[in-house]
Structure 1
Amino acid sequence: MGSVNGRSDNEFEDESLVSPDTLARKSLGLDRGQHGTLSDAEQDFSVKYLKSQLFRSIKVVLFTAKINILMPCGPVAILINYLTANHAWVFFLSMLGIIPLAERLGFATEQLAFFTGPTVGGLLNATFGNATELIISIFALKSGMIRVVQQSLLGSILSNMLLVLGCAFFSGGIIFIKKEQVFNKAAAVVNSGLLLMAVMGLLFPAVLHYTHTEVQYGKSELALSRFSSCIMLVAYAAYLFFQLKNKNTHDPVHEGGSQHEGSLVDEEVAEISQWEAFIWLAILTACISVLSEYLVDALQGASVAWRIPVPFISVILLPIVGNAAEHASAIIFAMKDKLDISLGVAIGSSTQISMLGIPFCVVIGWIMGQPMDLNFQLFETATLFITVLVVAFMLQDGSSNYFKGLMLILCYLIVAASFYVHVDPASVEDKSPQG
């Protein structure tokens, strides 16, 4: 007992010795140690957090979409270009490599729109929605391939209006074969009006050229094209303002009303952060730019190797690559009875190309010293004019079915066959650059 008491007394005595000054000193030392440990822990935590965020972002962007299995085609195309310089394989693999990059670029733009609000989001969608076509066009302009630029942009409009919209109408009509699918007729009418305005902008320079009624041959046509392009850009800016300020005009037509809108909002959740979206936009745009340069350089060689006319490659093949993601999304939304979104993807993209993409390329060509104009030749201009009339006629009653979709797809096959046997009569590539 004594020893126990002694030990207990010593323990109590030891406890009394450590207080209060010793305890204070030990607590200060412990605090310093703890603060140091917490600081290291915080640093470790921040590093681990950044790594986890990085891996999560890479996983979401690069490994969630099945189409990303085509991404290795891009590096393989570059490798083949340096090893064998086989233009046919370089062109083919570059096309396949651009498809998933274009789809992921659209994904990053949608993610960024969650944080920027509807106004800036609309501008971002207008800017990046057709970024692939614009990047390819800029590299073609840089190489002086003006007809390739004109035909690829024209092909993008035709592809969206006939093939994409036709597939959406057809697939939606098959799924809802006993139900008539409807969409907002007011929004379709506005887009059809803008497309007809674009046809007007392309028609007058071509008519001016082929009727030989220019004041100054070669110069008046180019000056008219640049003036009309500026007017079309102003009109598209006004359209964006109108669309964003008058949202009730563009509301989806559904029987469900607010319930459908609520479910749509619930489904849409941002998967990556705002800064991650910015970084991925920059990375994907750079990758598309690199592959686009190889694609454009190999185009002529691929045309010779495959014995396929350059107009067919420019009007049919290149737009299908650039619009691959839009094709899939338009069909998926139509099969979910969200036809307004499908219409926005197809007709909205055509409007962007005709009123933003084409005038933008004319202005860029002006800056580069390239004589890029709105004279798309009579064959191409007539094709666009008839296509706009056919689609406007299909949209006038605000409803769709599988037969309308089938007609649009068959019209696109006629257009594709026409460009396969079409020889470009007068290439604008031979023109000398004018200021």
Structure 2
Amino acid sequence: MSIATPLHLRAYRASLLHFHADPAFAEHAYCWHEDGLLLVDGDKIHAAGDYAQLAPLLAEGTNVVDYRGKLIMPGFIDTHLHFPQTDMIASPAPGLLPWLETYTFPTERQFADPAHGREVAEFFLDELLRCGTTTAMVYCTVHKESVDAFFEASEARGLRMVAGKILMDRNCPDFLADTAEGGARDSEDLIKKWHKHGRSLYAITPRFAPTSTDTQLRLAGELAQAYPDTFIQTHVSENPDECRWVQSLFPASRSYLDVYDSVGLLRQRTMLGHCIWFDERDFARMAESGAAVAVCPTSNLFLGSGLFDFEGADAASVTLSLASDVGAGTSFSMFHTMNEAYKVARMKGSYLPAARMFYLATLGAARSMRLEGSIGNFTPGLEADFIVVDLQATPLLARRSAECNNLEELLFALALLGDDRAIGATYSGGRLVHQRAGMT
């Protein structure tokens, strides 16, 4: 094995976990090194394996950061959340549509102010990193300024982020409405400015079908065709009232999903939030198109929208990921998201092993975004985004972890009992971007 010079190589000793397959479909889906060594060269992964095998290959004088007793794994990837909704998280409402009208739209109005957008973006990114999330697919507002504010803040930290300006030209307050042509023009300007600039990637972002005219959706589809390596993100089949509303607005469409499919918005790198009220044909079309689901259990439970059908999605081989959906989601923590995903699956009559939940929050999310060649595990050459998990972070987590008999039990305890306190440190592109107070 070739080892870089001590000037560039950094080494981290801890237990290591990363995935190379979905545990639901592969017997040997992960790599686990109880005493492991992660080697980082600049901003890329150099190697990951057993300490006993890699340590003798290190050049003399290489500094080894000692995180023994802790767990290093790839940074979490959150595939659906709204940075402008940070300040309205935990706002009460009887359902999705009144929640939008009462809280979301008035809050998003403030993002015409670039200074406000930048301040919220800074706090939002602080929260993500504090919770161990190194990549996210993010909704901004209708304002171009909100996208600029977000990417300026994320690029200053060297983060791999995907974001886009919301498209919304009807069924919303006048102060948030764009136009079909203006929204498409603004989106194209932002694509040219930010897509593949540094570690930034752009997502074409209709809010959801009811707030876009046929013309706006068609123009979004044309943008997606003109820029095929961009992302697409929107909401679908979240709430029964919303589904009935879409049926009345688009009577020619077979289903809510068909609205997007008919205008060219269903393809690889399309991330659809929720997908709760799908039938078999919807799931089959998702798998055929290469589009992916962002499963948002905390927001679905908070708004009473419904329970995601993991078994139905798996039967159709649909690509899945987990997402916090802040601010309808009630926590930035992917541990909390896993916790609720497990309960949603149980209430729906299925079971999510802990290993699969961690896969869906790391490599599974990267694959759903078609970014597995950049992030998601510790394959040499991938971007060095990783977290240090402290299994002693709380007295209860420490006590339960000490009683675990195998890796599955340990991961399950972490998913059900962990929170932001369990993230000791977060690294992005090989750089330390968050360290918990008292962590050395």
TM-score with structure 2 setting the length: 0.22
* Structure with greater proportional helix content: 1
Larger Rg: 1
Q: Report which structure shows greater RCO (CA 8 Å, sep ≥6).
A: 1
Q: Which has the higher strand share?
A: 2
TM-score normalised by the chain length of structure 1: 0.23
